[in-house]
């Protein structure tokens, strides 16, 4: 049985081509739509035969995003779908840590991530040993790991969070009386979250003497050094250039961007917040400071909205997922996510806590 509330999937090749042309004709050329519609149709046929569900992250390329996913969204939205699906196979068109989260939440399912190369600079920037060392250095601190970490790191954490609920998770812990919150691994998300919540930020690269000089009775967010290799490239000059060329544009930025960039934009938030904003708030134009496929996907989904399409920053990891890879993943049942039972058990609690704070 298909899951309820899924996106409608076209039944025939003609319907697939029509849907993709309707959505994408002002975003990508027709020859590309025609070529990709054939692959998309094959995927949709196979998906039904195999009782598979396809989850498409907001950063997928437009032809894939608008043709084969049963559900689209950010990692939190898709994690919730993965936890409830009745499908036998979950194909996660996103990066490896997302596939791992799906496996943790629904371990009896076969979970496929269509590319072996779909890593992430944040997830690769921290290890379980790093977390254990931080706990030893800051005894009693709570560990909040961004969902962009591998399962082995989540297993050493108390809470997970997304960019959409990072501030709520930190506020929840402060309200519960915790003074030290280790927030991993994204330096910029940690700094931006500390600023949003109104608490001090301390870089773990700082010395013990510097930490001891902080007021002991005030909460502090302790951050790591990793950064998203895409969002760290947005600069204050980029904001100024958009303002100069499109003074009426609303600029929305993802909190993996630097605090200096975040201070100059109009709206800060997750990719879900960006989708909701463009859908619901009438503005002359919208400029997105996030992975550029997202702007393409919103331009396709909301043709009556004017998107500033000046972005050239793509995630090399997300971009390894193609329609052809997705087809091969289903045909060969590759690449399956495997995790130790112990890791699944220990990583489940912080993820469940993340989902409960929305
Ligand atoms: S955009 Fe950044 S955070 Fe997202 S997968 Fe790519 S490197 Fe990781």
Looking at the chain, list the stretches that DSSP marks H as alpha helix, in order from N- to C-terminal side: 13-24, 30-50, 62-65, 75-84, 96-105, 128-137, 151-154, 166-175, 187-197, 208-212, 236-245, 259-262, 271-280, 292-301, 323-332, 341-356
Residue nearest to atom 7 of ligand 1 (CA): 120
pLDDT at 169: 97
Q: What is the pLDDT of residues 75-86, one digit of tens each?
A: 888 988 999 999
Please choose from 94, 113, 120, 145 the residue to mutate so as to test ligand 1's pocket, defined by most ligand atoms within 8 A of CB.
120
What confidence tier does 4 reach under pLDDT thresholds 50, 70, 90? Answer: very low
Which of 211, 228, 245 corresponds to the end of one domain? Answer: 228
Q: What is the pLDDT of residues 56-113, one digit of tens each?
A: 999 999 999 999 999 999 988 898 899 999 999 999 999 999 999 999 999 999 999 9
- Kindly tell me if the per-residue pLDDT of 179 is higher than 80: yes
Residue nearest to atom 1 of ligand 1 (CA): 315
Mean of the pLDDT values across residues 28-57? Answer: 96
Same domain, 72 and 42: yes
Mean of the pLDDT values across residues 156-185? Answer: 96
pLDDT at 309: 80
Same domain, 27 and 106: yes
Tell me what the pLDDT averaged over the chain comes to.
95
Cα separation, 215 vs 223, in Å, equals 17
Cα of 10 from ligand 1 centre, angstroms: 30
Cis peptide before 185 (omega within 30 of 0): yes
Residue nearest to atom 6 of ligand 1 (CA): 315
Angle value at C-alpha 56, between 165 and 102, nearest 5 degrees: 65
What confidence tier does 52 reach under pLDDT thresholds 50, 70, 90? Answer: very high
pLDDT at 1: 37
Cα of 49 from ligand 1 centre, angstroms: 32
Same domain, 263 and 326: no
- Kindly tell me if the per-residue pLDDT of 117 is higher than 80: yes
Contact residues of ligand 1, CB 6 A cut-off: 95, 120-122, 148, 228-230, 291, 315, 317-318
Cα separation, 313 vs 324, in Å, equals 23
- Kindly tell me if the per-residue pLDDT of 3 is higher than 90: no
Tokens describing residue 65 = 């995003």
What confidence tier does 11 reach under pLDDT thresholds 50, 70, 90? Answer: confident
Q: What is the pLDDT of residues 291-337, one digit of tens each?
A: 999 999 999 999 999 999 877 889 999 999 999 999 999 999 999 99
Neighbours of 281 (CB within 10 A): 12
Same domain, 96 and 183: no
Which of 203, 228, 253 corresponds to the end of one domain? Answer: 228
Cα of 346 from ligand 1 centre, angstroms: 24
> Looking at the 3D structure of the chain, how many domains does it have?
3
CATH of the domain at 245: 3.40.50.10800
Beta-strand pair 71-73/52-57:
parallel
Do the domain assignments include residue 238?
yes
pLDDT at 2: 41
Domain assignment of residue 249, given as a range: 231-314
Same domain, 216 and 129: yes
Q: What is the pLDDT of residues 190-240, one digit of tens each?
A: 999 999 999 999 999 999 999 999 998 999 999 999 999 999 999 999 999
What are the b/e assignments for 136-152, b being 16+ CB within 10 Å?
eebeebbbbbbbbbbbb
Residue nearest to atom 2 of ligand 1 (CA): 228
pLDDT at 5: 60
Same domain, 250 and 186: no
Residue nearest to atom 8 of ligand 1 (CA): 120
Same domain, 203 and 237: no
């Amino acid at each position: 049985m298909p899951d309820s509330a899924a996106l409608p999937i076209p039944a025939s090749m003609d319907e697939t081509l029509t849907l993709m042309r309707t959505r994408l004709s002002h975003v990508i050329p027709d020859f590309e739509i025609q070529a990709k519609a054939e692959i998309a149709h094959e995927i949709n046929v196979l998906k039904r035969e195999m009782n598979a569900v396809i989850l498409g992250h907001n950063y997928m390329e437009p032809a894939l995003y608008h043709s084969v996913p049963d559900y689209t969204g950010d990692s939190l939205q898709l994690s919730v779908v993965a936890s409830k699906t009745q499908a036998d196979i979950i194909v996660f068109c996103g990066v490896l840590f997302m596939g791992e989260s799906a496996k943790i939440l629904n371990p009896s399912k076969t979970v496929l991530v269509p590319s072996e190369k779909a890593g992430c600079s944040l997830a690769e920037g921290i290890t379980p040993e790093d977390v254990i060392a931080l706990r030893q250095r800051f005894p009693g601190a709570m560990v909040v790991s961004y969902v962009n970490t591998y399962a082995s790191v989540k297993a050493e954490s108390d809470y997970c969070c997304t960019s959409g609920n990072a501030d709520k998770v930190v506020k929840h812990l402060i309200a519960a009386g915790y003074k030290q919150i280790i927030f991993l691994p994204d330096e910029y998300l940690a700094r931006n979250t500390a600023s949003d919540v109104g608490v001090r930020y301390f870089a773990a690269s700082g010395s013990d003497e510097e930490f001891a000089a902080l007021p002991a009775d005030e909460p502090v967010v302790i951050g790591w050094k990793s950064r998203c290799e895409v969002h760290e490239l947005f600069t204050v000059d980029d904001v100024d250039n958009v303002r100069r060329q499109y003074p009426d544009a609303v600029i929305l930025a993802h909190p993996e961007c630097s605090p200096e960039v975040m201070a100059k934009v109009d709206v800060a938030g997750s990719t879900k917040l960006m989708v909701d904003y463009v859908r619901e708030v009438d503005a002359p134009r919208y400029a997105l400071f996030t992975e550029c496929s997202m702007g393409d996907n919103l331009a396709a989904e909301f043709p009556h909205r004017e998107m500033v399409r000046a972005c050239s920053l793509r995630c090399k990891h997300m971009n390894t997922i193609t329609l052809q890879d997705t087809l091969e993943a289903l045909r060969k049942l590759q690449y399956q996510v495997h995790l130790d039972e112990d890791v699944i058990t220990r990583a489940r609690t912080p993820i469940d806590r993340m989902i409960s704070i929305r």
